[in-house]
Amino acid sequence: MLLDAASLYFRAFYGVPTSVTSPDGRPVNAVRGFLDMTARLLTARRPDRLVACWDDDWRPAFRVAALPSYKAHRLAADGDEETPDELGPQVPVLVEVLAAAGVARVGAPGYEADDVIGTLATRARGPVDIVTGDRDLFQLVDDDRGIRVLYTARGIADIETVDEAAVSARYGIPGRSYADFAVLRGDPSDGLPGVAGVGAKTAAALVNAFGDLDGIRAAVARTVVPRPPLTAAVLKRMTAATDYLDAAPVVVAVERSIDLPPVDGALPRRPADPQALATLAEQHGLRSSLGRLGVALGWPRDVLA
């Protein structure tokens, strides 16, 4: 099980009230929510390995160089990602808690969690569940290899399991064609404009007619007599978007072979540092959430005593 950590702690932050605080009054809603979500996932899905995948770089330079609008609307004045004031201080706490618990946390300099997920999923020798609220990761679903997305758009209590059939049913495209579809349609949440005037219906029609983005662009180049789905209007829009179509695949495509050391991800049968974990539990008011995580992991009941 690969957790898109930022997706989950942002969801936890907005799903659990900031009135959930540590003994000294600081919000810990994102940390507690993340731990509770993880415990529920472990109990319901029973993975044998677990990795929290981290954004070491939420807006990698190679993607910004290709498309400067990439996530530009999320930039804070200091150049970092705009984050609620109550959330920022909780992220280092979560890092400490995961380390003390012994839960694998993996990032890569210059890459997003998506790329860590793509690489670990590609390396995996067995089925993989990717937990995220980010549709970009739909491009990784692979029925042959048992790679699916547990999509948290409606929260952990109502997860949608996304495989190739689900992608096809939702978007009307082949299950492994999501990345090309997303390039055409765009995604405002990532600052990805898409091809102007080409919405989801036209994007799906183009993918189905010509197979992939390269096939679509080749068809645009050779078409003399317009006919659906390459009508005169679509041909004009695709031709006008040449520069965007050159750049966007670099932004949308999840990297699947970045340089990562071997990652075990075995479930910790005891905390890596019980004393540190007990201290963090007391300091931040996390005893109940860590207790639930411990039950899900099969820890001895007295581990936080």
Q: Could you tell me the CATH number of the domain that includes residue 240? A: 1.10.150.20
Instruction: Note whether residue 98 is domain-resident.
Output: yes
Residues 150 and 188 occupy one common structural domain: no
Instruction: Note whether residue 302 is domain-resident.
Output: no
In a 3-state reduction of DSSP, which class is residue 268?
Answer: coil
Domain tally for the chain?
Answer: 2
**Residues of the chain below pLDDT 70:** 155-156, 305
Residues 90 and 128 occupy one common structural domain: yes
In a 3-state reduction of DSSP, which class is residue 6?
Answer: helix
Final residue of a structural domain among 233, 252, 271: 252
Residue 156, pLDDT score: 67
Residues 169 and 261 occupy one common structural domain: yes
Residues 248 and 259 occupy one common structural domain: no
Residues 22 and 95 occupy one common structural domain: yes
Instruction: Note whether residue 305 is domain-resident.
Output: no
Residues 139 and 189 occupy one common structural domain: no
Residues 94 and 242 occupy one common structural domain: no
Instruction: Note whether residue 303 is domain-resident.
Output: no
Residue among 166, 117, 126, 160 at smallest CA distance from 145: 126
76-105 pLDDT per residue, tens:
888 889 999 999 999 999 999 999 999 999
Strands (E), 159-207: 160-162
Angle between helices 90-101 and 274-284 (to 10 degrees): 150
Backbone torsion region of residue 147, taken as left when φ is above 0, otherwise alpha when ψ lies between -120 and 50, otherwise beta? beta
Domain interval for residue 40: 2-173+255-297
> What's the CATH code of the domain at 267?
3.40.50.1010
Write down the pTM of the prediction.
Answer: 0.95
Residue 79, pLDDT score: 85
Residues 69 and 192 occupy one common structural domain: no
Residues 136 and 27 occupy one common structural domain: yes
Instruction: Note whether residue 157 is domain-resident.
Output: yes
Residues 81 and 219 occupy one common structural domain: no
Alpha-carbon distances, residue 287 vs 216, 249, 277, 282, 305 (angstroms): 55, 45, 9, 7, 10
Residues 281 and 239 occupy one common structural domain: no
Instruction: Please give the torsion angle defined by the CA atoms of residues 165, 169, 174 and 177, in that order, rounded to the nearest 10 degrees.
Output: -100
Question: What is the Cα Rg of the chain in Å?
Answer: 21
Instruction: Note whether residue 304 is domain-resident.
Output: no
Residues 225 and 293 occupy one common structural domain: no
Alpha-carbon distances, residue 173 vs 127, 179, 244 (angstroms): 23, 11, 22
Q: What are the tokens at 247?
A: 């750049």
Give the pairing of strands 147-151 and 160-162: antiparallel
Instruction: Note whether residue 60 is domain-resident.
Output: yes
Angle between helices 213-222 and 178-185 (to 10 degrees): 50
Identify the H or E element spanning 165: helix 164-171
Alpha-carbon distances, residue 40 vs 152, 155, 223, 294, 296 (angstroms): 13, 12, 53, 11, 8
8 Å CB contact between 109 and 57: yes
What is the Cα–Cα distance from 52 to 75, expressed in whole angstroms? 24
Residue 155, pLDDT score: 66
231-246 pLDDT per residue, tens:
999 999 999 999 999 9
